[in-house]
Amino acid sequence: MNLKEIKEIISLMEEHNLSEIEIEKGDQKIKLRKTLKSDSGISIEQPVIIQRPQSAETDALQERSQEKKPSNLIEIKAPIVGTFYRSPSPDAASFVEVGQEIEVGQVVCIIEAMKLMNEIKSEVRGKVVDVLVESADPVEFGQILLLIEPS
């Protein structure tokens, strides 16, 4: 984030009378908090920008999702922003595995958003070719989750 963007965020905070705001943009995270001084003036804490380190596993998953896929494959994309889960609970089996045949309407994963568990169902019948996201990873709107070979 550049200085102009930070100043715009501060203006929004003042306009909406917010005392604290936290924003994530890509691999950057910024948190701003107002503190009251004894003379009733407002000061803004120093913004902290944190770069998330990329792991080799994250890099490999990103490369897999960006590889050229065969034209016959159907992408199941994230309809919302949230946290991706392959199974209904940590000790349960995954909804789908690579190579498994799936039906229309079958639950293929869960995306948690704002403490709500949203079941993502397949809109196609076919075979799971690839799962591009690891369980408990954050996902963005429109991000490709699974590749399906229609049948």
Domain ranges of the chain: 3-44, 56-150
pTM, to two decimals: 0.55
pLDDT tens-digit readout, 1-44: 677 777 888 888 787 777 778 887 777 777 777 765 545 455 54
Give the DSSP letter of residue 2: -
Type and span of the H or E element at 59: helix 56-66
- Cα distances from 54 to residues 17, 51, 75, 132, 135, in angstroms, run 35, 9, 25, 16, 17
Is the distance from CB of 136 to CB of 85 less than 8 angstroms?
yes
> Average pLDDT in the 108-123 region?
93
Say which CATH topology domain 56-150 has.
OB fold (Dihydrolipoamide Acetyltransferase, E2P) (2.40.50)
